[in-house]
Chain A
Amino acid sequence: MASISVPIGSVPGQSAPRPRLRVSDYLRWSVDHKIIGVQYMVTAAFFFIVGGTLAMLIRLELLTPNLDVVQTGSQYNTLFSVHGLVMIFLWIIPMMAGFGNYLVPLMLGAKDMAFPWLNAFAFWLIPPAGILMVGSMLVGAPEAGWTQYPPLSTLFSGDGQTLAALSVHLLGISSILGAINFLVTVKNMRPPGMSYWQMPLFVWAIVATSIIVVMATPFLAGALTLLILDRVGGTTFFDATKGGDVLLWQNVFWFYSHPAVYIMVLPGMGILSDVLSVHSRKPIFGYKMIALSSMAIGIVGFTVWAHHMFTSLQPELRIPFMITSMIIAVPTGIKIFSWLGTLWRGKIRFTSAMLFSLGFLSMFVIGGITGVMLAMIPFNLHVHDTYFVVAHLHFVLFGGSVFAIYSGVYHWFPKITGRMLDERLGRLHFALTYIGFFFTFFPMHFAGMLGMPRRVAVYMPEYQGLNATASFGSFLLGISTFLLLYNVIASLRSGRLAGANPWRALTLEWATTSPPPATNFVGDPVLFEDPYGYGTEGASDYLDAIERRFGAPSQPVVVDKPASPAAQGASGD
């Protein structure tokens, strides 16, 4: 299949110099997409720790059935409200945008994004939004949950609710600007010879995500504008006693926020498609199906929002929304089976990146199945607003998005910094995260089905066993995060040199030095015709040439030359 000649590296020993990274470059305005990408990721990671600290406080409080960490229910409301807002709007969404910013131009062989200035601007909206969000806890804290339902958010929350709404408003605008940038970059800046069907699947995922962002996030902007007006402008859109309608918020908010779930998970699915193929040395199974199912999820995602409102919706609308909600499992299932097909008889290497991707596969399937359960109206009515929902959403957002983010960090850290993360620590990190995650969130299913409501600080003593299990699991999960943090810091100082392409991957971001030079590529990047064409001699030659031209890792990370010609067909590069 692969039969290109390999012009790169025709002069052996001519390896490009490795650019140095300076911390000061990351602390100021820069229009380089690589610097902006890292700025996104580091900022997001900071807020992950903020949100994680709040989560630890929540679990500490729930260790016993009575109030002990917080003095009042209001304080507890603030904890989970800000935890949710921070994790969704300041951790997962910006982190995925960070990956997108760093990788999309590199994967397309472009020098930068289409609008570098706009890109920097979109990032710099995040720190002030973060300050507003954290500051909101200090001035009459927000207490209405991340969903900010009126009248909780209009009549029963302090000024902090206004600040939180402003913060989310800014973040929404930031993500719209980012998404416009991605779409234009992908449409106009692909290299000659790369059709849409030759783009890496991560880029496809970013395209699907960006389409959702540009079409759905304006609804969030509209809803928040009305909420802020109701809070400070004297209007009464959400006040039923004055001709308003509280369900109005739920409709408009979920019209954004359900697609937002896919904004958070689709890039993760893109990461998975790349990582699974590279680390099992096999062409991705069903490339077009994976690409198109992202689009299908994006489109169907716009038709399911009212399943969040089964208890408040007109009964005749429930069935249609139940059906659409179940339909969305079809494109998701296509992806899952395509990934399993990719792994099937592959030469799987259990690197940390691969382990986290496999973790995603197992946990996300559980989250997906509980999602289908929740789509069924009778079951939904039974577990509405219970811990079952909390379990479901964390299986999707932590077991899905965060596992994918971890996987992406292990996979692309060598490209971003030029050094490898410690694999042994990485595997330990995975083991702790996997176990900690499972024991934190799996017991919540039972608590929910037994009837424990969500968003309460005080519960009936018979739930304590399940809650204590969840709390201890969560402490393990909290500790595991610091392993990654330590790994990143230690590897930055003394990790092994990665070379250009330690995983021997075929996508374009690896066809340059690690870290890439300011212009990304020296000369025009040479494209391999199939981004997932592993297992052929052409691919092997191409990868050898990259290594000669841009530098090899200090120790070979991957030894995957076929041992005998007979073995070549099934495995190899």
Chain B
Amino acid sequence: MQGDLAERRLTPKEELDLKNKRTGLAIFQVSWIMVFICMMVVHWQIRAQSPTWPPEGVERLGIVAPTAMTLALIFSSLLARRADRALKAGQTEIFLWNWRMTIALGVLFVLVMGFEWLTVPISGQYSNLFRVLVGFHGVHALVIGALLVRVYRSALKGVYHSGNFWPVEGAAGLWYFVTIAWILFYVVLYWS
């Protein structure tokens, strides 16, 4: 409720600005997810070259750690959403706690998947595809994760409140993007 009140205090120019940013972010999410879909197509076409998948003599990658990390990432996105809502409702403490946990789970995800990336046995297309897909996603997770940290540091200084929340909402939006993109890759890499 408070959030709504704060939004209503925006001047028409600020309102247009916010609307533009929201539309822009939405279009970016839809657009850039196409690169991940492109990578999925690549995966399918490459694996169609081999009679079995993984190719003969190559061991399938373990599924336990990635599944746990997928859950961690989804959970972290949910926390980011809660943080965003808390901020707009003026509950700064709840916002900070949720945001901190978002980052913590994100770091966990990057570390574990980074470990998987480094330790995958080198064995032709199967591991090449794994490394390119996970690496490509990892670059996005790192850059957008760094943005989350930056937002957190500004938040500690008390920059954000129910009338100034776009950096938080925007960063959260990008983090949802990282999550959705990962779910696509997770399904392709481990369940198909």
> Which residues of A pack against B, CB within 8 Å?
114-115, 176, 179-181, 183-184, 187-189, 214-219, 221-223, 225-226, 229, 235-237, 240, 242-245, 247-248, 251-252, 255
Contact = CB atoms under 8 A, between A and B. Distances in A.
B34 interface: yes
B128 A235 contact: yes
> What 4 pairs across the A-B complex have the smallest Cβ distances?
A222-B38, A218-B34, A214-B31, A218-B35
Contact of B27 (A214, A219, A222, A240): A214
A115 B24 contact: yes
B42 interface: yes
A244 B46 contact: yes
Nearest to B20: A114
B46 A248 contact: yes
A7 B72 CA distance: 62
Contacts of A229: 132
6 contacts: A179-B31, A183-B23, A188-B19, A214-B27, A216-B34, A219-B38
A226 B39 CA distance: 9
Given A219-B35, A251-B41, A184 B125 contact: no
A245 B31 contact: no
Contact of A237 (B27, B31, B33, B42): B42
A245 B30 CA distance: 28
Contact of A243 (B30, B32, B41, B46): B46
Contact of B46 (A115, A188, A223, A245): A245
A214 B128 contact: no
A218 B38 CA distance: 8
B42 A184 contact: no
B34 A215 contact: yes
Given A222-B38, A236-B128, A243 B55 contact: yes
SS of A interface (majority):
helix
Contacts of B48: 245
B190 interface: no
A176 B31 contact: yes
A104 to B, nearest CB: 14
Contact of B132 (A189, A223, A235): A235
A218 B30 CA distance: 10
Contact of A252 (B16, B28, B38, B49): B38
Given A242-B125, A243-B55, A248-B45, A114 B35 contact: no
Nearest to A221: B35
A184 B21 CA distance: 8
Given A223-B38, A226-B42, A180 B28 contact: yes
Contacts of A237: 42, 46, 125, 128
B124 interface: yes
Nearest to B131: A235
**How many interface residues does chain B have, given as a range?**
20 to 34
Contacts of A216: 34
B97 interface: no
B50 interface: yes
A223 B45 CA distance: 13
Given A180-B24, A184-B24, A242 B31 contact: no
Contacts of B46: 237, 243-245, 248
Nearest to A251: B45
A225 B31 contact: no
Contact of B49 (A218, A221, A245): A245
Nearest to B23: A184
A214 B124 contact: no
B178 to A, nearest CB: 16
A188 B31 contact: no
B39 A222 contact: yes
A58 B32 CA distance: 38
Contacts of B42: 222, 226, 237, 248, 252
A145 B134 CA distance: 31
A223 B39 CA distance: 9
B1 to A, nearest CB: 26
Contacts of B32: 176, 218
A219 B16 contact: no
Contacts of A251: 41, 45
A214 B25 CA distance: 12
Contacts of B41: 251-252
B24 to A, nearest CB: 5
A534 B30 CA distance: 39
A114 B179 CA distance: 27
A293 to B, nearest CB: 23
Interface in B4-52: 16, 19-20, 23-24, 27-28, 30-35, 37-39, 41-42, 45-46, 48-50
B67 to A, nearest CB: 26
A53 to B, nearest CB: 34
Nearest to A252: B38
Nearest to B124: A243
Nearest to B126: A243
A119 to B, nearest CB: 12
A242 B124 contact: yes
Given A219-B38, A226-B42, A237-B42, A183 B27 contact: yes
A167 B48 CA distance: 31
A237 B41 CA distance: 12
Nearest to B44: A248
B27 A226 contact: no
A430 to B, nearest CB: 38
Interface centre among A184, A217, A221, by most B CB within 10 Å?
A184
Interface string B137-160: 000000000000000000000000
Given A217-B31, A222-B34, A237-B128, 5 more contacts: A114-B23, A114-B24, A215-B34, A219-B35, A245-B48
B169 to A, nearest CB: 16
B140 to A, nearest CB: 12
Interface centre among B30, B37, B128, B132, by most A CB within 10 Å?
B128
Nearest to B35: A218
Given A243-B46, A243-B49, A188 B35 contact: no
A188 B20 contact: yes
A184 B27 contact: yes
A248 B46 CA distance: 8
Contact of A184 (B20, B38, B39): B20
